Structure 1
Amino acid sequence: MQAPKILIILIIIFSTSINYSQSNSNVEEKIDSFLNDLSGEDFSGTILVAKNDSVIQKRAYGLSSKELKVKNEIDTKFNIASITKTFTAVAILQLYEEGKIDLNTPIGKYLKDYPNEKIRKSATISQLLTHTAGLPNFYVTNFLDKCKFDFKEVKDFLPLFENEPLLAEPGEEYNYDAAGYVLLGLIIEEVTGSSYYDYVKENIFQEAKMSNTAAFNVDATIENKANGYTFAGDTTKPLKNNIFYLSKASPGGFHYSTVEDLFNFNKALFNNKLINQKTLDLMIEPRVKGYNTHLGYGIDVDKRYNEIILGHSGGWYGISGEIIYLPKSDYTITILSNVDSNMDSGKAMVSDFFKSLLAGKIE
Structure 2
Amino acid sequence: MVALTWACGSSSDSITEDTAAERAGDPSRMGDAEIVHDLRRQLARMVEEDRFSGTVLFAKHGRPLFAQAYGLASRAFGAKVELDTKFNMASTAKLFTSISVLQLAGEGKLSLDDALSAVLPDYPNQDVARRVKIGQLLAMTSGLGDYVSLKMLEGNPERLRRIEDYLPFFVNDPLRFEPGTQQAYSNAGFLVLGLVVERLSGQRFEEYVRTHIFEPAEMAHSGFYAFQDDIPNLALGYTRATEPGAPLTVALRLGRGASAAGGTGTYTTVEDLLRFAQAIQAGRLLDRKYTDLLMRYSPTEMWHLNGFEQDYARGIHITGHGGATSGTSTRLSMYPDLGYTVAVLSNYDGGARLVGDRLEARLTGEPTPRAISVSEDVFQAFAGSYVDGGLQPIVISVDRRGALFVAIPLQGKHKFVPLSSDEFFDDDMLTPRLRFTRDGGGTVTGLVLSGIGREPIKASKQP
TM-score, normalised via structure 2 length: 0.69
Which amino acid is 2:271 matched to? E
Equivalent-residue separation in structure 2 for 1:289 and 1:197 (angstroms): 34
SS at match of 1:236: coil
Equivalent-residue separation in structure 2 for 1:356 and 1:20 (angstroms): 11
Asked if the contact 1:154–1:182 (Cα under 8 Å) also holds between the matched residues in 2, the reply is: yes
- 2:288 is matched with 277
How does 1:319-334 map onto structure 2 within 5 Å?
A: 319-334=328-343
More strand by share: 2
1:3-51 deviation line (CA, Å, top 9, x unaligned): xxxxxxxxxxxxx9x9642444444444455455553623100001111
Asked if the contact 2:36–2:66 (Cα under 8 Å) also holds between the matched residues in 1, the reply is: no
Q: 1:233 to 1:114 in 2, by over 3 A?
A: same
Asked if the contact 2:86–2:269 (Cα under 8 Å) also holds between the matched residues in 1, the reply is: yes
1:107-138 deviation line (CA, Å, top 9, x unaligned): 11111111222321111110000111111211
Which amino acid is 1:21 matched to? R
Per the TM alignment, residue 167 of structure 1 is displaced from its structure 2 partner at its CA by: 1.1
Per the TM alignment, residue 307 of structure 1 is displaced from its structure 2 partner at its CA by: 1.3
1:310 maps to 2:310: no
Equivalent-residue separation in structure 1 for 2:320 and 2:364 (angstroms): 14
Equivalent-residue separation in structure 2 for 1:150 and 1:289 (angstroms): 43
Q: Name structure 1 gaps, 5 residues minimum.
A: 1-15
1:246 maps to 2:251: no
How does 1:34-53 map onto structure 2 within 5 Å?
A: 34-35=42-43, 39=47, 41-53=50-62
Q: Which residue of 344, 352, 360 maps to 1:355?
A: 360
Which amino acid is 1:149 matched to? E
Asked if the contact 1:284–1:301 (Cα under 8 Å) also holds between the matched residues in 2, the reply is: no
Q: Which residue of 211, 216, 219 maps to 2:220?
A: 211
Q: 1:238 to 1:24 in 2, by over 3 A?
A: closer
1:305-335 deviation line (CA, Å, top 9, x unaligned): 3411111000000000000111111111100
Equivalent-residue separation in structure 2 for 1:20 and 1:193 (angstroms): 51
1:135-159 deviation line (CA, Å, top 9, x unaligned): 1211257533353111122221211
Equivalent-residue separation in structure 1 for 2:168 and 2:299 (angstroms): 28
Q: 1:354 to 1:20 in 2, by over 3 A?
A: farther
SS at match of 1:138: coil
Per the TM alignment, residue 55 of structure 1 is displaced from its structure 2 partner at its CA by: 1.3
Per the TM alignment, residue 192 of structure 1 is displaced from its structure 2 partner at its CA by: 1.2
Q: Which residue of 21, 26, 32 maps to 2:29?
A: 21
Per the TM alignment, residue 348 of structure 1 is displaced from its structure 2 partner at its CA by: 2.2
**Equivalent pairs, count:** 340
Q: 1:215 to 1:305 in 2, by over 3 A?
A: farther
How does 1:128-143 map onto structure 2 within 5 Å?
A: 128-140=137-149, 142-143=151-152
Q: 1:189 to 1:288 in 2, by over 3 A?
A: farther
Which amino acid is 2:269 matched to? T
- 1:13 is matched with none
Q: 1:286 to 1:107 in 2, by over 3 A?
A: farther
Higher relative contact order (CA 8 A, sep 6+): 1
SS at match of 1:139: coil
Which amino acid is 2:85 matched to? T
Which amino acid is 1:225 matched to? L
Which amino acid is 1:246 matched to? L
1:211-247 deviation line (CA, Å, top 9, x unaligned): 111113110010000000111241222211113x423
Per the TM alignment, residue 281 of structure 1 is displaced from its structure 2 partner at its CA by: 1.9
Instruction: Please identify the structure whose Cα radius of gyration is greater.
Output: 2
Tell me whether 102-111 or 297-306 shows the greater mean CA deviation: 297-306
SS at match of 2:319: strand
> Structure 1 vs Structure 2: percent identity of aligned residues?
34
Q: 1:32 to 1:236 in 2, by over 3 A?
A: closer
- 2:451 is matched with none
Asked if the contact 1:286–1:295 (Cα under 8 Å) also holds between the matched residues in 2, the reply is: no
Which amino acid is 1:62 matched to? G
Which amino acid is 2:254 matched to? L
1:237-280 deviation line (CA, Å, top 9, x unaligned): 2211113x423242001211111111111110111010022211
Asked if the contact 1:306–1:360 (Cα under 8 Å) also holds between the matched residues in 2, the reply is: no
Q: Which residue of 147, 168, 176 maps to 2:185?
A: 176
Equivalent-residue separation in structure 2 for 1:357 and 1:81 (angstroms): 25
Asked if the contact 2:294–2:319 (Cα under 8 Å) also holds between the matched residues in 1, the reply is: no
Per the TM alignment, residue 165 of structure 1 is displaced from its structure 2 partner at its CA by: 1.9
Asked if the contact 2:317–2:335 (Cα under 8 Å) also holds between the matched residues in 1, the reply is: yes
Q: Name structure 2 gaps, 5 residues minimum.
A: 1-22, 368-430, 432-463
More helix by share: 1
Q: 1:262 to 1:66 in 2, by over 3 A?
A: same
Asked if the contact 2:295–2:336 (Cα under 8 Å) also holds between the matched residues in 1, the reply is: no
Q: 1:21 to 1:361 in 2, by over 3 A?
A: closer
Tell me whether 102-111 or 227-236 shows the greater mean CA deviation: 227-236
- 1:118 is matched with 127
Equivalent-residue separation in structure 1 for 2:150 and 2:226 (angstroms): 21
Q: Which residue of 115, 118, 126 maps to 1:109?
A: 118
1:144 maps to 2:153: yes
How does 1:226-245 map onto structure 2 within 5 Å?
A: 226-243=235-252, 245=253
Which amino acid is 1:296 matched to? L
Which amino acid is 1:282 matched to? L
Which amino acid is 2:357 matched to? D
Asked if the contact 2:51–2:348 (Cα under 8 Å) also holds between the matched residues in 1, the reply is: no
